[in-house]
A and B are shown apart, each in its own frame.
Chain A
Amino acid sequence: QKEVEQDPGPLSVPEGAIVSLNCTYSNSAFQYFMWYRQYSRKGPELLMYTYSSGNKEDGRFTAQVDKSSKYISLFIRDSQPSDSATYLCAIPQGLTGGGNKLTFGTGTQLKVEL
């Protein structure tokens, strides 16, 4: 079983839709969860991170962690064409993502259409 699993998509939604992106993980010891956005042919950029269970909101983005089911989600409200990218969940082997190895999900390719 992979440590982090993610549906690769592609996912196509109309502009303005609410998008739900999800990952599951296998190790219950994981505490820190991250979402990266990667545009085509570019390096990933950090969108959000959460620690332990619960929700975290930043503008149109909400990250949610359910440790009981080992399930993490990223919600995008009022999706825009500029949100079209690949979204990767990542889990560090350590308490933070700074100096620790990251295990990435496969990434979900999102396309927001006009």
Chain B
Amino acid sequence: GAVVSQHPSRVICKSGTSVKIECRSLDFQATTMFWYRQFPKQSLMLMATSNEGSKATYEQGVEKDKFLINHASLTLSTLTVTSAHPEDSSFYICSAAPPRVSQETQYFGPGTRLLVL
């Protein structure tokens, strides 16, 4: 299957700092990438949808100025958590969808665990 990587896999930062998380599709071009957040023992909640070359679409309740998404190329999307606070500690997972609309699935990265102290 297609491979999606995320970097870093784990990050610990101080409150008030910004953290950038990268999502890469390694063997296919992804016209659409999704960013999810997962709190312990809860499901994945979609944060935003990003399409290459255009602004991301954020879900209701997600602050676009706090969670900056850049989808600069067909293989890379980045999520920057600005001025991170302890409540932003979570598991962030990206997924990438190949360009064919008939694709049955999107492919998920391994996730990035963020801990804000």
A binds B: yes
Q: Which residues from chain A sit less than 8 Å from chain B, CB to CB? A: 6, 8, 34, 36, 41-46, 49, 88, 96-99, 101-107, 109
* B113 touching A41, Cβ below 8 Å: yes
Q: How many contacts A-B (CB < 8 Å)?
A: 71
* A98 touching B105, Cβ below 8 Å: yes
Q: Which residues from chain B sit less than 8 Å from chain A, CB to CB? A: 1, 4, 6, 31-32, 34, 41-46, 49, 91, 93, 95, 97-98, 100-106, 108-111, 113
Q: A43-B4, A43-B95, A98-B98 are in contact. List 15 more A-B contacts (CB 8 A).
A: A34-B104, A36-B108, A41-B113, A42-B111, A46-B104, A49-B104, A96-B103, A96-B104, A97-B104, A98-B102, A99-B103, A99-B106, A101-B49, A102-B46, A107-B42
CB contact under 8 A between A97 and B43, given known A41-B111, A43-B93, A43-B111: no
* B98 touching A106, Cβ below 8 Å: no
